[in-house]
Amino acid sequence: MGKIQVLDPVTVDQIAAGEVIERPASVVKELVENAIDAGASAVVVEIKEGGISYMRIADNGCGISREDVPAAFLRHSTSKIRTVDDLVHIGSLGFRGEALSSIAAVSQVELVTKTADQTFGTRYRIAGGKEEGIEDAGAKDGTTFIIRQLFYNTPARRKFLKTPMTEASHVGDLMTRMALSHPEVSFQFINNGQTKLHTAGNGKLRDVIYHVYGREIASNLLRAEYETSGLKITGFLGKPLISRGNRNFENYYINGRYVKSSIIAKAIEDGYKDFTMQHKYPFVVLHMEINTENIDVNVHPTKMELRFNRQQEVYNAVYAAVDEGLHREELIPQVEVNV
């Protein structure tokens, strides 16, 4: 027999999981994105021990029908696209069909789900990629995932986890971003029994900003509004006086997705250049709607990087949104004084 063998599916899933699932916050990200894709208006996330031993993600979305439950955990199984052509019109946060199989490969999963047209819900258990049972369950419409003992079967991965406190703060940051990117959804985040975040889900971005960042920031905001063909920007610009010492307060979302983009960051900072001192970074929360044909989200498994068709247009639009927003009011530029 030759030396080369095709890996068994469980091993393949464990390896694939490494690309998507790095820590508790990655599990929460994938499951909250699924909840949003399922049309949920409320999502509750509860974690214990930084999520390492316990995470519960509950939504009131469309649920998964009984016959679809086992399939949802197969690798590359998705209800969101059918062919590669659909990638051009991606409106959902997920589409790779990798999250559930990856999570199930490296943890103990319990799922309770019910669709509106089913009388009974379904309870399903899967651990280390192995099905452990499916049964009826009394449940409300929607989906609840309980994830226990992340990386229990991949000690090498588990070793890289930080302290529960650090892991919990990553989950907290993620929940903040989810709340800011989807003001129309109510998010509750409970850490070790304490509610850390609970947004109203009334669709008002300013309310979410107030809730997350407090009064000082929420009362020093200017509105950003800009539209050009295939690209729309809305949101808020912090007045220069609330500029920060780091980039953590530059929030921007594309089609409801948290992304990192050096082009957008540069456009924001260039737009503020005349108003902020050196080494100060603005507070912004921008929502960008870009025609899906002009972006490629399928660059990286975590979908945090994306590619623009027309980079210069994106830069120009963001710069214009910032520039116009800041110039709409008489702001006093903060001039660097050299002594």
In the complex, the residues that contact Mg ion under the rule CB under 5 A are: 34, 94, 99
Query: Under rule CB under 6 A, which residues in 70-89 are in contact with ligand ADP?
Result: 72, 77-80
Other C-beta atoms closer than 10 Å to the C-beta of 5 total 7
Q: Does 127 bind ligand ADP (CB under 6 A)?
A: no
**Separation between Cα atoms, residue 175 and residue 188, nearest integer Å:** 8
- Secondary structure E strands in 7-159: 42-48, 54-59, 108-114, 121-127, 130-137, 142-148
Let me know: does 9 contact 104? Beta carbons within 8 Å. Answer: no
Provide, rounded to whole angstroms, the least separation between the CB of residue 110 and Mg ion.
18
Identity of the residue, 51 or 94, whose beta carbon is nearer to Mg ion in the bound complex: 94
Let me know: does 163 contact 186? Beta carbons within 8 Å. Answer: no
Q: What angle do CA 13, 16, 20 make, to 5 degrees?
A: 120
Provide, rounded to whole angstroms, the least separation between the CB of residue 38 and ligand ADP.
3
Order of strands, sheet of 221-228, starting from the edge strand that comes earlier in the sequence: 221-228, 231-238, 284-290, 250-254, 257-258
Identity of the residue, 22 or 313, whose beta carbon is nearer to Mg ion in the bound complex: 22
Q: Which residue is nearest to ligand ADP (CB)?
A: 94
Q: Does 95 bind ligand ADP (CB under 6 A)?
A: yes
Query: Under rule CB under 6 A, which residues in 8-47 are in contact with ligand ADP?
Result: 30, 34-35, 38
Q: Which of ligand ADP, Mg ion, none sits in contact with 167, Cβ below 5 to 8 A by type?
A: none
Provide, rounded to whole angstroms, the least separation between the CB of residue 64 and ligand ADP.
5
**Separation between Cα atoms, residue 39 and residue 194, nearest integer Å:** 26
Residues that contact ligand ADP, how many (by CB under 6 A): 22
Which residues contribute to the site for ligand ADP (CB under 6 A)?
30, 34-35, 38, 59, 61-64, 72, 77-80, 94-100, 143
